[in-house]
Structure 1
């Protein structure tokens, strides 16, 4: 097989109910595309589904490893990439058929950008909703603003990355983290100057499946809240170090950080972690004190709520005695 133009990394762990649709809509017999499926120690029927659907393709590489988590599965795929561009697919998601071919068709004709943002739809209980769909070129300042406002996804499955930038800057996923994409994307954005959005009428949609037992939608736990907090603080603090951010973007970053800290504080109280909640409360106070920007009415209302004594707010939230 000649050197591929695009690699598609698909980590798999116990997604037998969704894997067939994922693979059948993603894999095409096209030598321009390299597929790297990383079976991360699945103990359901995922291995059988992979063997039935994917192994017959000459452009598919299969890695079987013991369970190490999503980050390590993606990293294992990244080490095998042999192409100019790379993207990711979660094995419980799916896409418009031949989307991958449309993407490589575009990449063959265009090489004027280091990051492509792709159209995404959320998919929950059969209902579809556009999450992002745009046709524009963005400066990094503009793109950070729109990410912080929720106009663009942070998930790496919504991008096509230039492999050379990942390799040259040693960008990998943090081992053992939830919300790992919030650590990956900022490191990549630091090394580029613009982002090109491709519209759905050119490449079709990626369907991000919202399900209650997925990693990011599971019931609250201290581990999940800790990683939610750490990833949110990381991405905002990292972005604030970027040069030439305008005041509007700095304001959006600070608003996002207040949202992260406030939600962490409230959710920690809901699961009875008062000591950890108190620490986050102090973190919010320190951030407000040292911030050089004003806050919106919504953020100001959150600031008022954290002025309520922790024990009293806990009683209100949980009915504590």
Structure 2
């Protein structure tokens, strides 16, 4: 078979290449930066999806380890893998570079330290093919690593307005880019903002307004590898402020008590870390201690109290104890994992 392929004329090779990519349905964009230990596992899991009309777009974002060589080997062995090398510009720019050369009608993103179980994309693409009006499809997530198991469970449901999807599923708590398949046309005017943390949420705060049909499904799964040393896990005031500003834009168009409580907690953390007050005063939402204190005493007073509470917690911790939400005290050793 190899010999026969080698003897094909250049015109025949071009014809086969054209047929392959003319029918391209799904582009899987994988930014790569210094993940030599996990990259092969990630690529094998995506290649193993074995669906027709899928391309893989690898964007090597200036890796300094063996990742570029691994990418090159896979690109040579698989005709549906495109490889782009660029100087290090960050995750958002790497994704945007992949979007610019992606040929699929749909696009999805995979981080190069994550992976997918077999059959995930086949089930998801069947749903998208059955309903061409879907703007994006979201599927479950399972976290690998860390001390606490986590799985995002979703149900099979169609949302014809983004507000219902955002509030009823509490999508603001799982606004990830990598567990969704998007209609590529959504990115004709919107792309990832460079140089920020929580870039997924920031993008969603702009994409949502363009969506008229959103589908969630219980099928498939994205295996997310938790990194306790990553930028998201160690975010400071400026990074949290970016998150808060994204939520604030969405809150201008839709909000309920649960969502307000979620965003209020972010505002409290932003202020505690030295950031500004960004939420408007006098929001009418009720429920829970913090929203009640907010309505009674105002945002700034609540932020000051919250900041002092954290100082007291640090004092307790320095003395070998932790204050739990239940009000009980436990030694530091008893809660270490």
Q: TM-score, normalised by structure 1?
A: 0.80
Q: Quick one: which of 22, 26, 50 aligns to 1:6?
A: 26
What is the DSSP-based 3-state SS (H/G/I as helix, E as strand, rest coil) of the residue aligned with 1:121?
strand
Shift of residue 230 of structure 1?
1.8
What is the DSSP-based 3-state SS (H/G/I as helix, E as strand, rest coil) of the residue aligned with 2:178?
helix
Q: Which residue of 2 aligns with 1:22?
A: 42
What is the DSSP-based 3-state SS (H/G/I as helix, E as strand, rest coil) of the residue aligned with 2:44?
helix
Shift of residue 295 of structure 1?
4.7
Q: Quick one: which of 308, 314, 317 aligns to 2:305?
A: 308
CA contact (8 A) 2:51 2:121 kept: no
Q: Deviations over 1:242-286 (max 9, x none)?
A: 3xx4xxx432332222011112233x1xxxxxxx35xx3xx16x6
Distance 1:309 1:71 in 2: 33
Q: Quick one: which of 171, 177, 199 aligns to 1:180?
A: 199
CA contact (8 A) 1:147 1:154 kept: no
What is the DSSP-based 3-state SS (H/G/I as helix, E as strand, rest coil) of the residue aligned with 1:58?
coil
Q: Quick one: which of 249, 255, 272 aligns to 2:261?
A: 255
Shift of residue 298 of structure 1?
4.2
Which stretches in structure 1 are left out of the alignment for 5+ residues? 269-275
Q: Quick one: which of 211, 219, 223 aligns to 2:227?
A: 211
Distance 2:306 2:207 in 1: 41
Shift of residue 229 of structure 1?
1.9
Shift of residue 178 of structure 1?
0.6
Q: Quick one: which of 289, 296, 301 aligns to 1:297?
A: 289
What is the DSSP-based 3-state SS (H/G/I as helix, E as strand, rest coil) of the residue aligned with 1:259?
helix
Shift of residue 207 of structure 1?
0.7
Instruction: Identify which range, 2-11 or 119-128, moves more after superposition.
Output: 119-128
Residue 68 and residue 316 in structure 1: after superposition, are their counterparts in 2 closer, same or farther (change >3 A)? Answer: same
RMSD (Å), alpha carbons: 2.7
Shift of residue 305 of structure 1?
5.4
Shift of residue 307 of structure 1?
4.2
Distance 1:186 1:85 in 2: 20
CA contact (8 A) 1:132 1:153 kept: no
CA contact (8 A) 1:178 1:215 kept: yes
Shift of residue 11 of structure 1?
0.4
CA contact (8 A) 1:123 1:210 kept: yes
Higher RCO structure, 1 or 2 (CA under 8 Å, sep 6+): 1
CA contact (8 A) 1:30 1:59 kept: no
Distance 1:26 1:33 in 2: 10
Q: Which residue of 1 aligns with 2:112?
A: 91
Residue 144 and residue 315 in structure 1: after superposition, are their counterparts in 2 closer, same or farther (change >3 A)? Answer: closer
Q: Which residue of 2 aligns with 1:241?
A: 252
Distance 2:306 2:109 in 1: 44
Q: Quick one: which of 205, 216, 221 aligns to 1:197?
A: 216
**Counterpart check, 1:144 vs 2:166:** yes
Q: Which residue of 2 aligns with 1:271?
A: none
Residues 40-79 of structure 1 aligned to structure 2 (within 5 Å): 40-79=61-100
Shift of residue 163 of structure 1?
1.0
Q: Quick one: which of 192, 202, 226 aligns to 2:238?
A: 226
What is the DSSP-based 3-state SS (H/G/I as helix, E as strand, rest coil) of the residue aligned with 2:38?
helix
Number of aligned residue pairs:
289
